[in-house]
Amino acid sequence: MEEYITTTEAALLAGVGVSSIKRWSDQDLIQVVRTPGGHRRVNRADLLRFLDESSSSPVSTALARESSLPSKPRDLRSALSISRIGLIKKLAGPEIHLAPENPDDPKSAGVFWANAMRDSDVFELQALLLHARSRRGSWHATADEAAHGLSEVGERWMRGEMSVMDEHIASERLARALSAIMETMPGAEEEPVCMLACVTGDMHTLGLSFLQLCVRERGWRPLWVGASTPLEELYAVAAAGEVAMIAISASEASSDTVELAEFAQMLGAACAASGTSLAFGGSGAWPDPPLFGMRFYAFGPFSAYLQSQS
């Protein structure tokens, strides 16, 4: 009896995005039927045949071995994400770009990653990030390159080329891709803990999402607090010395220099008293240098600081 699966299940099985499954269906590359409600159902055996014929990489063999399972484990899906790029290039042609033309040029990198956030699904973004990690050699270098895309997205919004909704959708895709990668990097309980939080009133957490990978890569355990953290709660944690480091982010939206200076002074005093390391990041109007702690403008120097504090 033929087995038919949903496009989402097919995407997980193939290690691609749902948009790729639909594109293959439209091109009659895979066998698909329609339900009475108009939804696509993919012939599982035909999909595996197509993947085996379309790719000479080891990923097809792995997929065939997994065909008897209801779904692939999360770590296998992540391991296959970068391998699927070869298949994407074969099917889509030479117009697919896996890296900026000039990765070290902020404008070139910004355009590439902004376009990727706009046009790619979560699976495709995850694959591009893993590919960038492979060619860059570290997550902090990957983060410094990809962060230019966030600036480019903001500039496009200011020029009226992207709506608020477009910006939110693109940011959410990137956040989900980073979160999926983070889940494949487990830590140990005995590792030093770095708390990650945004200054009170600031809701922009993508910088922290990149920071998580840098923290994990350096052998620290990230403790995610996230957006708009009250100063009094951070102060209590710092004063008690409950974590080894606090990394606090403020985006460009946090532009009140007096308010941020007071925030940095109070949190710094608590950290100094307890011996807790403190790092300030983001493009917000932090004092530079702060009375206590370190101010960072890029992920590379922060990663080096993490290593020095281990």
Residue 82 has pLDDT above 50, yes or no: no
The pLDDT of residue 92 is 44
The pLDDT of residue 58 is 38
Alpha-carbon dihedral 231, 232, 236, 241, rounded to 10 degrees: 10
Whole-number Å distance between alpha carbons of 124 and 285: 34
155 close to 107: Cβ distance less than 8 angstroms:
no
Give pairs for 5-12: CB < 8 Å, separation 24+: 5/41, 5/42, 5/44, 5/47, 6/39, 6/40, 6/41, 6/42, 7/39, 7/40, 7/42, 9/42, 9/71, 10/42, 10/44, 10/47, 11/123, 12/71, 12/72, 12/77
Radius of gyration (C-alpha) of the chain in whole angstroms: 22
The pLDDT of residue 40 is 87
Mean pLDDT over 133-147 rounds to: 95
pTM higher than the cut 0.85: no
Mean pLDDT over 148-168 rounds to: 92
The pLDDT of residue 3 is 83
Residue 145 has pLDDT above 80, yes or no: yes
**pLDDT tier at 88, thresholds 50, 70, 90:** very low
**pLDDT tier at 263, thresholds 50, 70, 90:** very high
Nearest to 209 by CA among 248, 185, 178: 178
**pLDDT tier at 54, thresholds 50, 70, 90:** low
The pLDDT of residue 11 is 77
Residue 288 has pLDDT above 60, yes or no: yes
Mean pLDDT over 95-107 rounds to: 84
Whole-number Å distance between alpha carbons of 90 and 73: 26
Per-residue pLDDT reduced to its tens digit, 198-254:
999 999 999 999 999 999 999 999 999 999 999 999 999 999 999 999 999 999 989
**pLDDT tier at 28, thresholds 50, 70, 90:** confident
Whole-number Å distance between alpha carbons of 98 and 116: 10
More confident residue, 64 or 302: 302
Q: How many CB atoms within 10 Å of residue 15?
A: 28
Whole-number Å distance between alpha carbons of 255 and 257: 6
The pLDDT of residue 310 is 75
Q: What is the mean pLDDT of the chain?
A: 84
